[in-house]
Chains A and B, each alone.
Chain A
Amino acid sequence: MNGAKTFHVDSQWMTGDFDSKYLVEMQIDFHELKRSMQSLSGVLMLVQFKTMTEATQLLTVLKETGNWLAETLEHLSQVSHRGRLEDFRRVCVNVCMNLQSVHRELVEWVQQKSVAAKHQAIHKLLMRLQYAHQQLRRAASFSPAFEMVSLNTSCACAHQ
């Protein structure tokens, strides 16, 4: 029975309309998570260099990122799957919540005046981002999600 059930689920992965719709929805979330991660990484780096010294500028970027994450989490809560593809959503939810945690701390960090406190925080935040990235990679390596690894490059070096 278990074998038959597995076969049914696997077939559904590749051909079912339900699965296609689910993967399209998940692709949106995957993209937003990727964008949020890039944004948080970028802020973390630039704050360290004090290149975007205007806190308002940074907070604007962070505000947008916070919105993306909140919307993504809400969207993820509305997308569900009764088969093994549900694992993919769970990973994305986990990534999203981790990024939200980093986001909250980064907002506090940007507003902090103490250089020493910032220096202590950066290592911790970077490790959290790296962990979230590992999770996102795990999601990307999930075979139906393969096409979600899209960099959308504009470089002419054979990228579209």
Chain B
Amino acid sequence: MQDYSIWVLEYAYVPDYAKGGVLYGAHNEGTIKLPYCYAVIKGNGHTIMVDVGYNYKEYGKVLAERFGVINWRDPKTVLKEVGIQPEEVDTVLVTHAHFDHFGNVEDFPNARFYIQEQEFTKWLWALALPKQFEWLQGAMDPGDMLRATQLAVEGRLVLVNGDLENVLPNIDLFAAPDTHTFGSQFIRVRNGEGSDAWILAGDLAYVFENIEGRDKDGVYVPVGLASGSQVNLLLTTDKMMNLVDRDPRRIIPVHEERLVEVFPARVSSEGLHIVEITLADNEVSKVVVESTSSNHQSMS
């Protein structure tokens, strides 16, 4: 029985991102397209986001222009592709507090946000370090911190300390401290019984090679950039693998352009991908239409 649908929605992209940024050691190996995405989980009476992207204004706009991010679309436009309004989102599971994952809380006025406590406490610790440690202090802008505090005041921010099973029915949070960031987390969605589980990896894995190895040799490769330990990244990858019966296809790296080659997908009128990871029993596909011959085909 499938309780939850999962879609990965592209909301912007960098057409030519250095491969070394996503795959440790891939120096001088050219560039790849880097999609910016968030995920939607829908089922059991809940509409859930995994991360919320960033807002194309103020700091977000400056960064987007500086780093060549193009084709940004707001959540209202992007979520409409799967028939959802931002106001319907009741829960946001934040993988980490980098601005492109946590920078648009204001577009989700009715959601409760879950983030690892350590993401903030360790960051605050780093903030008080001398200037030579400034690199550790990056990735959050003052506005994001203020908006997080506003969420806390409104009672819509939940700081999670470690793993949390059943944050919602059959959805679990797993802490990944000292990895990509101080307090990253990944999300497991369990559909029904047995091994039908999916993991949304946040930035703990950018591309398939991080999980499957280069040339699919099974040797984990850490992401190209992390403020934490590469060892912890690899151990976390192994933990993710164990949680999905060591089926790498069930670990979803949301920055992976080739998701569209593995899962049903289509391109929106805005030129952005919609990837359907799994579909609940009572849900209609948002990427595939029934053809007259009852075969399935992509809408794109």
Contact = CB atoms under 8 A, between A and B. Distances in A.
A152 B141 CA distance: 9
A122 B153 contact: yes
B195 interface: no
Contacts of B289: none
A149 B36 CA distance: 21
A103 to B, nearest CB: 13
A4 B36 CA distance: 48
Contacts of B226: 154, 156
A18 interface: no
Interface stretch (B62-70, B85-93, B163-171, B291-299): B62-70
Interface in B18-63: 21-22, 34, 36, 58-59, 62-63
Contact of A34 (B21, B142, B152): B142
B207 to A, nearest CB: 10
Interface residues on A, range: 35 or more
A155 B159 contact: no
Contacts, number: 141
A46 B138 CA distance: 19
Contacts of A152: 134-135, 137-139
A151 B145 CA distance: 12
A38 interface: yes
Nearest to B125: A61
Contacts of A157: 14, 34, 36, 98, 100-101, 203, 255
Contact of B139 (A34, A130, A153): A153
Interface string B172-210: 000000001100000000000000000000010010000
A155 B142 contact: no
Contact of A133 (B63, B117, B142): B142
Interface stretch (A48-56, A78-86, A107-115): A48-56
Contacts of A149: 59, 62
Given A44-B149, A129-B149, A155 B117 contact: no
Contacts of B181: 154-155
Interface residues of B, number: 55
Nearest to B59: A149
Which of A38, A60, A129, A160 gathers the greatest number of chain B CB atoms within 10 Å?
Answer: A38
B120 interface: yes
A64 B128 CA distance: 6
A126 B149 contact: yes
B148 interface: yes
B142 A156 contact: no
B149 to A, nearest CB: 4
Given A45-B149, A154-B227, A38 B127 contact: yes
A137 B58 contact: yes
Interface in A47-72: 48-49, 51-52, 60-61, 64-65
Contacts of A48: 149, 152-153
Contacts of B136: 154
B123 interface: yes
Nearest to A136: B142
Nearest to B54: A157
B161 to A, nearest CB: 8
B263 interface: no
Given A41-B145, A42-B145, A152-B135, A159 B100 contact: yes
19 contacts: A37-B145, A37-B146, A38-B142, A38-B145, A44-B149, A49-B152, A61-B125, A129-B149, A151-B59, A153-B99, A155-B181, A156-B21, A156-B203, A156-B223, A156-B225, A157-B100, A158-B14, A158-B17, A159-B98
Interface of A: 34-35, 37-39, 41-46, 48-49, 51-52, 60-61, 64-65, 122-123, 126, 129-130, 133, 136-137, 146, 149, 151-160
Given A45-B145, A46-B124, A156-B21, 18 more contacts: A39-B128, A41-B146, A43-B124, A45-B120, A48-B149, A48-B153, A126-B149, A133-B146, A151-B141, A153-B99, A155-B138, A155-B225, A156-B203, A157-B14, A157-B101, A158-B34, A159-B63, A160-B67
In the A-B complex, list the 9 residue pairs whose CB atoms are closest, starting with the nearest: A156-B225, A41-B145, A152-B138, A155-B98, A153-B139, A42-B124, A158-B67, A158-B14, A45-B149
